[in-house]
Chain A
Amino acid sequence: MNAVVSGVILSIAVFAADSKAMTVSDPKNLMPTLAGYFQASSFATTMACPQTASFEAIDARCSLRCTDVFCMSRCDTARDFEKRFDVHIDECSDDKFNIFSDTGLRIEVSQQDFVDSGSTWLLPLLKGFGFYLQPDLGDIELTGVKSESVKLIEAGRIRTISAVVVDADIVQGVGLSRHRMWVMLTPDLDGVRQIVAFAIGDKSYSDPLYKLRGLVLPKITH
């Protein structure tokens, strides 16, 4: 109960040009746990500008609908141009930078966002998550943080990297029912590759909306 009472309600901001903002709440005060996995580092060093990395997706965006009993999600399969795309860090200044994807995502990240996200760009991503949702409104409530190892294939070599999975619920309407979602980050990669995957649904079977090329997602995580 204390955790709920003292939970942090994070600020609201509009970042994605074509989508309304999501609010992000952290009733279990999980952000310090996330920050513990990431070495505090300077904004400029971690998010070198400009840079580009290759990503891919199975689904493009999801429609959500909840009754009092359960929620339904319907995710549209990514079209050809959305299956493989580049994500860029560009248009940078001393205190902010922008993340663009070839598929239309745009997220502005301020230095304060970066600090609030534990030296990551998680919170700006979540606030701009409406890009992937229909309707593009609601609250994202952080529900868990855990670490695991995943494989990454680069230049034909398989290596194991540390990953941190943030579980969250998307709450819309009166909030009796919730959609699950997850975001996977890694402290082993910098910049745009710091967030390696995310999806609507449960991690063990949800198709990613966004995944770093070469990342091998675990099949069973529960």
Chain B
Amino acid sequence: MAAMSSRFGFLSGLVSAAIGLLVGTATEVIAATGPLTNAEMTVKIETLKTALEGFRTIGEIDKILMDDKSPQANPDVKRMLDETDCKKALVLPDENPPLQAGDIKVPIMSLEVSGAGCPMTYKTYISGTQIDGGFDGKLYLSYKAQSDEARALGDIDEIVYDGTLKASSIKKPQGQGGGVEFDFTFAVTGHSTALGNFTGSSGFDGKMVVNVTPDPGGGMPMIGMDGGMTEKRIVDFFEAPGGGLKGDLRRTMTFVGLAPSVVHTLDGQEITSKQYDSLSALMNPPGIGKLGGPGTSVPPLKCGVEVYRKGDLSLAAAEALLAAGSWPKIAPLKSVSAASDTMSLNNGAFNGYSYNAKFTPDPQFLRVDVEICKGLACDTASRAFLLDEGKAYADAVGDFTVLSRCEMPPAAGPVR
């Protein structure tokens, strides 16, 4: 059951992602097109947000068909699906091996509920073929409410997704890295009780490649990335009250080395990442929305790790300094820094030791992992930082004392 849930989770996430892109775009379109006051905009956004909650019905159907004992299943949906007029045809993910490209796995499955007297019709499938180093697949989903009771489940009474799922792994010589290239795009059509007919498309494509360059001297290899990804969100509620809502939001991420370069556009016009984030954050869509980490709306922290020889700075001495709000006056053996919103890998060597410092951003916190190794023997420390608060910590890592800290950026001056 655990394996099945996991695979279902992917499907749910995939569909939610497509839904989410649609929902997110709708919000941003409103923000961009109409000469609306903030209050009007908020009301319109809430209208859409509520209307699009009807999408959740689709998730409920999946959940029930995949696991009809799910305690989270909506009992109304379950009862309707169990009516004798509903015919079910299911091919569950366990019955076929998944499509796979690198770490990306997509289950093969199909679920169908039909019948003239059934309160709803529903069909979804993921199909495809495994090709050399990847797969070529298709995602399809259709839903139609056929009874008044089904229509009352949510505002969306009819919707069709038709999508392409393609991925292929990028192979490099042994020990030199590798990556994956992907293209997931979806076309959506449907009908909203509140807003009328709509069409849209969404998706993301790109490639991510990790390059590992061995050190000829036998030291730590250099690690870099190239490639990038573009998310596209396009929607057109062409029968919406007031003349429709339409827009095109894109985020393009390009990797050079380890630092991603990101460009955001709305209807072809470049916008700031903050504008993009604030537009997206107006409505947290099912599945992919942020869950409100306060750090998502504050500037990134300046973070760093410093390594000291234990004999120069003991853990107790370091903790005493930090408790007093001070910082060591002596020079560290190693020092690395990163911003809290940027994935960063740092590695190197000193005095016969090798070290790795990894900064992993999450929407709600930053994780900092430090590893110091002598040969194959490694010691580690891990800390997590909230994104709206400066903190510093000391850890004993083998023969060393490691200080990690994040600081709030300087307050911005008044805007003139």
Tell me the A residues contacting B by CB distance below 8 Å: 56, 58, 69-74, 83-84, 144, 146, 153, 155-158, 202, 204-208, 211, 213-214, 216-220, 222
Q: Say which residue of B12, B43, B152 sits within 8 Å of A222 (CB atoms).
A: B12
- Most-contacted residue by chain B among A144, A156, A217 (CB, 10 A): A156
Q: Does B194 contact A (CB under 8 A)?
A: yes
Minimum CB–CB distance from A102 to chain B (whole Å) comes to 16
The distance in angstroms between the C-alpha atoms of A56 and B297, with both chains bound, is: 13
Contact status A220-B364, CB under 8 Å: no
Q: Does B149 contact A (CB under 8 A)?
A: no
Contact status B194-A69, CB under 8 Å: yes
The distance in angstroms between the C-alpha atoms of A157 and B368, with both chains bound, is: 10
Q: Say which residue of A83, A156, A211, A219 sits within 8 Å of B383 (CB atoms).
A: A156
Contact status B284-A158, CB under 8 Å: no
The distance in angstroms between the C-alpha atoms of A207 and B391, with both chains bound, is: 25
Q: Which residue of B lies closest to A66 (CB)?
A: B50
Contact status B46-A73, CB under 8 Å: yes
The distance in angstroms between the C-alpha atoms of A205 and B50, with both chains bound, is: 12
B interface, size bucket: 35 or more
* Proximity string of chain B (144-170) to chain A, C-beta cutoff 8 Å, 1 when within and 0 when not: 000000001001000000000000000
Known contacts A69-B155, A216-B364, A219-B363: does B50 contact A207 (CB below 8 Å)?
no
The distance in angstroms between the C-alpha atoms of A109 and B288, with both chains bound, is: 37
Contact status B384-A204, CB under 8 Å: no
For residue B292, which residues in chain A have a CB less than 8 angstroms away from its CB? Answer: 58, 206-208, 211, 217
Q: Does B42 contact A (CB under 8 A)?
A: yes
Q: Say which residue of A56, A70, A72, A146 sits within 8 Å of B72 (CB atoms).
A: A146
Q: Report the 7 A-B pairs with minimum CB-CB distance, sorted nearest first.
A: A205-B284, A205-B289, A58-B292, A207-B292, A156-B383, A217-B291, A156-B393
Q: Which residue of A lies closest to B39 (CB)?
A: A74
For residue A70, which residues in chain B have a CB less than 8 angstroms away from its CB? Answer: 50-51, 53, 155, 193-194
For residue A56, which residues in chain B have a CB less than 8 angstroms away from its CB? Answer: 294
Contact status B365-A222, CB under 8 Å: no
Known contacts A71-B50, A156-B391, A216-B365: does B63 contact A58 (CB below 8 Å)?
no
Q: Which residue of A lies closest to B54 (CB)?
A: A70
A73-B50, A207-B284, A222-B63 known; 4 new pairs, CB 8 Å cut-off, are A58-B292, A70-B194, A73-B46, A220-B12
For residue B193, which residues in chain A have a CB less than 8 angstroms away from its CB? Answer: 69-70
Q: Which residue of B lies closest to A147 (CB)?
A: B71
Minimum CB–CB distance from A186 to chain B (whole Å) comes to 17
For residue B286, which residues in chain A have a CB less than 8 angstroms away from its CB? Answer: 202, 204-205, 222
Q: Say which residue of B51, B291, B365, B404 sits within 8 Å of A153 (CB atoms).
A: B365
Q: Which residue of B lies closest to A153 (CB)?
A: B384
For residue B13, which residues in chain A have a CB less than 8 angstroms away from its CB? Answer: 220
The distance in angstroms between the C-alpha atoms of A84 and B297, with both chains bound, is: 14
Contact status A222-B56, CB under 8 Å: yes
Interchain pairs with CB closer than 8 A, number: 101
Contact status A153-B194, CB under 8 Å: no
Contact status B43-A74, CB under 8 Å: yes
The distance in angstroms between the C-alpha atoms of A195 and B113, with both chains bound, is: 40
For residue B384, which residues in chain A have a CB less than 8 angstroms away from its CB? Answer: 153, 156-158
The distance in angstroms between the C-alpha atoms of A155 and B291, with both chains bound, is: 22
Q: Does B304 contact A (CB under 8 A)?
A: no
The distance in angstroms between the C-alpha atoms of A74 and B45, with both chains bound, is: 9
Q: Does B287 contact A (CB under 8 A)?
A: yes
Contact status A158-B367, CB under 8 Å: yes
Q: Does B124 contact A (CB under 8 A)?
A: no
Q: Could you tell me which residues of chain B, from 365 to 411, have a CB within 8 Å of some CB in chain A?
A: 365, 367, 382-386, 388, 391, 393, 404
Q: Could you tell me which residues of chain B, from 1 to 42, have a CB within 8 Å of some CB in chain A?
A: 9, 12-13, 16, 42
The distance in angstroms between the C-alpha atoms of A158 and B9, with both chains bound, is: 24
The distance in angstroms between the C-alpha atoms of A214 and B292, with both chains bound, is: 12
The distance in angstroms between the C-alpha atoms of A219 and B9, with both chains bound, is: 12
Minimum CB–CB distance from A205 to chain B (whole Å) comes to 3
Q: Does B275 contact A (CB under 8 A)?
A: no
For residue B404, which residues in chain A have a CB less than 8 angstroms away from its CB? Answer: 156
For residue A69, which residues in chain B have a CB less than 8 angstroms away from its CB? Answer: 152, 155, 193-194
The distance in angstroms between the C-alpha atoms of A220 and B13, with both chains bound, is: 8
Q: Say which residue of A83, A155, A217 sits within 8 Å of B364 (CB atoms).
A: A217
Q: Which residue of A lies closest to B297 (CB)?
A: A58
For residue B247, which residues in chain A have a CB less than 8 angstroms away from its CB? Answer: none
The distance in angstroms between the C-alpha atoms of A216 and B384, with both chains bound, is: 11
Minimum CB–CB distance from A192 to chain B (whole Å) comes to 19
The distance in angstroms between the C-alpha atoms of A81 and B190, with both chains bound, is: 42
